[in-house]
Structure 1
């Protein structure tokens, strides 16, 4: 899957705007609207690459959540989001464990730049590069190359490629891919996935053999051709 971001924000307008904007940038995003739900999401299996956490939340405030998180997880990057702009409040948030602090109202472009910085910081602990076969992905810059040749991808194509590369040589069902990359349930009718696979294949195959393979009735796999038993389709 792509970079996973958890947004814990009770303001409906701000929360939905963040989710929509970050998804358009290729991130996998989930949102919770109160403190208790946010805390449960933070304990979910697999973890998060970045957390955007509001200070004022129903049921449990963001600072309390942040302190609880830091007791068990000192590393996950957290961007604290709040209308409190006094120096003493910023100090309290940073001392409470936040990696960055952004006051409301804010420009989405600034938030996006801060998210990218946190992703780079987080990936720096475990390496910023990912790859399989002759495909290389720089997670910090979101640059993709095959056989040393740069490839321009849309946000969704990038998220799809990331998901494939993180699950090489596995047959991934359409439902599984759709739910992880689009954050929606697959209705069995939409051809959105097929269109993106076609375009991603076209761009990758400009510099080498086919890496995305169709398994009729089962889904897709990513990697070198598995052999004569492979069933190919469009």
Structure 2
């Protein structure tokens, strides 16, 4: 869920509402695959019974560095050397020497974009790889498989269904169960978002920090009030059962 303030800054909230575990909330700037992966990791951490296993996973996660500097460093290490890139540009100019300047400029622009560390898609992919490389280990799989399996019901948002998120969930011993299309009423957390947005209208959201803190506090208050989830159970579970 994205919350946009009248002051034009945004906080994205990824939350879980558990039946017999600990609910969790992660606030980020977007809901791309890296953020969803981090939300799954937080959910796993919140619902680990073995404190030693929890400490191990927590240490691993705390070492994940998704800073701008680390992402740029990773991309630079994977880019082709400068002399090779200049050689590629030279060959491109020779190959398209008879084309018009507009065509040549477009082709060169694509070549430069493919190695640019400012490329948004490349930066997201690098973040995805950093996270996956940190958790895709025999140790993480072992300690997560010793914990109770988490069954997570979620909607059909394209990122949720991606192979990347499915792989992250598998490593963490989380089973993803997708709702049928266009059925948000079957997910009780949608009621939480409605109440949360209503509560946020009471505040003057003058800063991103205040918005972020208010979301976290309000979410916890709503979760602790069981009438929302109980009303949903009474309405839907008997019909399914």
TM-score bracket, normalised by the shorter chain, equals: under 0.3
More relative contact order, 1 or 2 (CA 8 Å, 6+ apart): 2
Compute the TM-score of the two structures, normalised by the length of structure 1. 0.28
Structure possessing the higher radius of gyration over alpha carbons: 2
Where is the helix percentage greater, Structure 1 or Structure 2?
A: 2
